[in-house]
Amino acid sequence: MPIRIRLLLLRCLRDAGHPLIAALTGILLVHAVLPAATALATAATIDRLGPGGLRGTAVPLAVLGVTIVVGQAGGALMQPMIFLAKARIDGAHRVRVATMAAAAPTISALELPRVQDLIKATSADPLTWVERTPSDGAVGQLFNLTRYVGLAASAAVVAQYSWWLIPALAVPALAVRVLTGRQWVNHFRIWLRGLPEQRNAAYWAEVATTPAEARELRVFGFGDWLVGRQQRHVNTHLAPVWIDDYRASRGKWLHALITFVPLSAIFMIVGTRVAATGGSIALETAVLTAAWSVYSVLGMYDPVSGAGATPVIEAFEELRGLLGDGAAAQTPAAADQRSTDQRSTDQRSTDQRPRPAPVPLVRFERVSFSYPGTDRLVLDQLDLTIRPGELLAIVGRNGAGKSTLTKLLAGLYEPDAGHITAAGLALPAQPSGGLAAWRRQLSVVFQDFVKYQLSARDNVTLGAGIGYDQAALEAAAKESGLSTVIDRLPDGWDTPLSRGRTGGVDLSGGQWQQLVLTRALYAVRTGARLLVLDEPTAHLDVRTEFEVFDRLITAARDVSVVLISHRLSTVRRADRIVLLADGRIAESGSHAELMALGGDYASLFAIQAERFNQGYQDRIEEGELV
C-alpha cells in the first residue's frame, strides 16, 4: 500500500476525537506488550520456585495475575472503543461526501458518470467483505503500528538469551506474513473482479421480492428463468473464488513448514543448551514464550483492511478534486450546529420574517447551452426578459429547452455562452451570498419533483430556511387546494408521507402535485420573489387545474411567475407567452396576439382544444390516498 494512502488513513483517526484515539492507542499498546510481559512474569515465577515450593513467588504470581487480568480487561474495553471510533470516522467521512456533493454550486459535475461512480465508491457503505470503510483502514493501520511495538518488546526479551535468535525468528515469521498477505490480497482481487456479477445477482434477487416486479414475475411466469439468471451470476462470480480457496488450502503446508521447522529448531537449541550448561530455566521459559509471541504478533498483521479501504480513499481524493475542496473542510460538528440553529427557529412568527426583496428584472442575454458530454445546443443565443410582477408562460414541443431554461435560471447549470442577469447583476456575481442568495429569491417546482419520506409539514417547509410559519403554511395549503387532503390525513400535518413509516400514508399523483405547489406558494409567502412552475399541474384533470391555477395567480400577484405547461389552455391567461423552438424564441405575445398570428402556437392550441372537446384527459394518476 502506498505511503500516501497509509497517511491519509491515519489522518482519518482525528475524526474519532483525540481522547478516544489516545485511550484506544493506550489499550492497543498495552495489549501489544502483554506477550512480552507475560513471558517475563512467568520466568520470574519459575525463577522463585525452589525446594520450598511456592514460597517467594507471591510477587511474581501477583504480577502474572495482573498481566492476565489487564489483558482480559483490555480486550473487553477494546471492542466498544473500536466500534465507537469507527462509527465516528465513517460518520464524518459520509458527512464530508454529502456536504461536498450538496455544496457544488451547479449540478453539471454531479451528472457526470465518473462523478456518480466516485460517489458510489466513496460512500463507505460496504456490501461485501472485500469492501471496507475508511474506519476499517484507519483502525487497521493503528493496529499494525502498535503490533510492531509488541514485536519489539518480545524481541527484547529474546535478545536476553542471544541476539542471533532475533533474525532466526523474524525472517521466517516475516516470510509467513508476506505469503499470507499476498494470498489474501490475491483473493481480495479475485473477489473484487467478480463484483459486477455479484451486483447483478443481487438485482435479480431484489426483483424476485419487490412487490411491483413480483406481480409481473407471477403474471408472465418467468420465475424459473429469473432464478436461473441469478444462479448463473452467482456461479460466475464465485467459481474463481472457490478455485483460489482450494489453491490456498493446499498451500497451507508451506506456511506450517516455515513456522514449524525454525521454531522447533530454536526450541531444541535453547533447551539443549540449558540442559547441558545448567542455565536458567526461567530464562529459557521467557525466551520460548517470547519467541512464540514474535510469530503471533506478525501473524496478526491485517493486509485486507488497508487494501479494502484504499479504493474509498482514492475515490474521495479524486472526487474532492472534481467537486472542490471547500465543502470537504466542513466538520460534522458544524453541520450539527446548523441543524440545531435551523430547528430552533420553528414556528417563527410573520413579524420575524425578513423583509422581501424587490422583484428583480431577469434577462437572458444571448444564452447558449448544451448538456455536458453532448454537442447539441439546447439553447442557442436565447434572448429573454422576465419583467417584475409578470406572469410569463413558456411553451414549446418536447426538447425545445423549456425545462433547461428553468435549471439555468436556478443556477443549476452555467451557460456555455451569454449571461443571465437579475437586477442588472450576473447571477454568479450576486452580492451577499452569491447563488445561495439568489436561490432564496426563487421558488421552483420542477417537473420531476421529489417526494420526501417526511411529514406533510416538513415536505412543504423543508427548504424555507427560516423554520416554519404555521399561518403561512395553512394559507399556502388553502391556495393550492391541499387543505382538504391534510384534513383527511390521520395526523394532519404530522403524518409521514410514506407507507414505509409508522402511521404513514402515500398520496396520489395529483395530491403530491398539490403538495409541491404548496411548497412553492409557502416559499413565496416567506420571501421568494420569482415563482417558476415547470408542469405544475400535469397530474390534475383540466377542471381541477383551472381552479388551482386561478388560486395560484391570485396568491402570486406580487411576484414574477414563469409557467411552463404542455396544456395551452392553462397558459392563455398569462401576461405574455413565448414559444421556444430550436433553442430560441419563435413567437412571443399574449394569447390573443399569438392566435391572431396564426403560427405554431395557434396550431397547437387548436389541436389541444379539439382533443379536449372529445373528452381526452391528459393527466397522470398513481392511485388515491389510503
308: closest CA among 191, 213, 407? Answer: 191
CATH class of 3-337: mainly alpha
Q: In whole angstroms, what separates CA 290 from the centre of its chain?
A: 46
Of the chain, the percentage scoring pLDDT greater than 70 comes to 82
Q: For the ranges 50-54, 71-75, 568-572, which has the lowest average pLDDT?
A: 50-54
Confidence of residue 493 (pLDDT cuts 50, 70, 90): very high
Confidence of residue 328 (pLDDT cuts 50, 70, 90): very low
Query: Between the ranges 331-335, 366-370, 540-544, 571-575, where is the mean pLDDT highest?
Result: 366-370
The per-residue pLDDT for 264 is: 81
pLDDT tens for each residue of 339-365: 444 444 445 444 444 555 678 899 999
The per-residue pLDDT for 622 is: 40
89: closest CA among 4, 157, 11? Answer: 11
Confidence of residue 330 (pLDDT cuts 50, 70, 90): very low
431, pLDDT greater than 50: no
198, pLDDT greater than 50: yes
The per-residue pLDDT for 464 is: 57
The per-residue pLDDT for 134 is: 92
> Is-contact 226 287, C-beta < 8 A?
no
Q: For the ranges 486-490, 513-517, 548-552, which has the lowest average pLDDT?
A: 548-552
How high does pLDDT run on average in the chain? 80
Topology of domain 362-613 in CATH is: Rossmann fold (3.40.50)
For residue 594, give every residue at least 6 positions away whose Cβ sits within 8 Å of its Cβ, in sequence order, or none. 577, 579, 587, 601, 602
Considering Cα of 147, then 150, then 154, then 160, what sign does the dihedral take? positive
The per-residue pLDDT for 21 is: 94
For residue 171, give every residue at least 6 positions away whose Cβ sits within 8 Å of its Cβ, in sequence order, or none. 262
The per-residue pLDDT for 279 is: 62
* Residue 67 vs residue 544, higher pLDDT: 67
Q: Provide the b/e sequence for 183-203 (b: ≥16 CB within 10 Å).
A: bebebbebbbebeebbebbee
CA angle, 393 then 397 then 398, to 5°:
110
492, pLDDT greater than 80: yes
Query: Which residue spans of the chain are classified as CATH 1.20.1560.10?
Result: 3-337
pLDDT tens for each residue of 158-167: 777 777 777 7
The per-residue pLDDT for 268 is: 81
Confidence of residue 626 (pLDDT cuts 50, 70, 90): very low
pLDDT tens for each residue of 505-518: 988 888 888 898 88
Confidence of residue 617 (pLDDT cuts 50, 70, 90): low
pLDDT tens for each residue of 201-246: 888 888 888 777 777 787 778 888 888 999 999 999 999 989 988 8
What is the distance between the alpha carbons of residues 183 and 304, in angstroms, rounded to a whole number? 10
Query: Which residue spans of the chain are classified as CATH 3.40.50.300?
Result: 362-613
Beta strand pairing status for 417-422 and 425-426?
antiparallel
589, pLDDT greater than 90: yes
